[in-house]
Amino acid sequence: MGLIKKSRVKSPWIMHFDNSSCNGCDIEVLACLTPLYDVERFGIVNMGNPKHADVLLITGPVNRRTARVLRNLYEQVPNPKMVIAVGTCASSGGVFHNCYNVLGGVDKVIPVDVYVPGCAARPEAIIDGVVMALQSLTEQRHLWVTCPHCNLEHEVTDQRWRI
């Protein structure tokens, strides 16, 4: 593992974006920064600037207003970047999935690397999600999944998987 690759795992800078969340997950994201969980011991720093960030932590379902903002933020993050959907709403739309103004989960707008379900997602699960997203940077994971269309097992080299 090269120096830069190793450093990537050791220093993920996070940017947190609230789509249209109920703030439950947002509070859990902020709880990660407190002395109890202290994510800075893994080098994780909460940034306010997409141009400095490596990981986008997104909470809440995407609605028609925030979809444009979310795409804009995603494009401002320099590569390599990772997207983590925190909470049930960000993963699938949750209880808001059939609202007239809600498009659904974050993956309707931008590619998502890791889904962290939960209402609200616990800080441990969020930290776990970040660690899992970092592993996707270092190793190419091969998964065998059953294809919903042809019912055969396919090898998936895509780096996205669910926890």
Contact set with another protein (CB under 8 A): 3-8, 10-11, 13, 35, 38, 40-43, 45-49, 51-52, 54, 76, 78-80
Report the nearest approach of another protein to the CB of residue 45 (Å): 6
**Distances in whole angstroms, Cα of residue 148 to Cα of each of 41, 145, 153:** 41, 9, 10
Report the nearest approach of another protein to the CB of residue 63 (Å): 23
Between residues 44 and 112, which has the closer beta carbon with respect to another protein?
44
Between residues 49 and 135, which has the closer beta carbon with respect to another protein?
49
**Distances in whole angstroms, Cα of residue 134 to Cα of each of 4, 101, 130, 149:** 13, 33, 6, 30
Report the nearest approach of another protein to the CB of residue 145 (Å): 31
Between residues 37 and 161, which has the closer beta carbon with respect to another protein?
37
Report the nearest approach of another protein to the CB of residue 140 (Å): 17
Between residues 56 and 102, which has the closer beta carbon with respect to another protein?
56
The answer to whether 65 and 92 have CB atoms below 8 angstroms apart is: no
Between residues 139 and 155, which has the closer beta carbon with respect to another protein?
139
Nearest to 116 by CA among 108, 99, 65, 124: 124
The answer to whether 59 and 75 have CB atoms below 8 angstroms apart is: no
φ, ψ (nearest 5 deg) of residue 87: 95, 160
CB atoms within 10 A of CB 54: 23
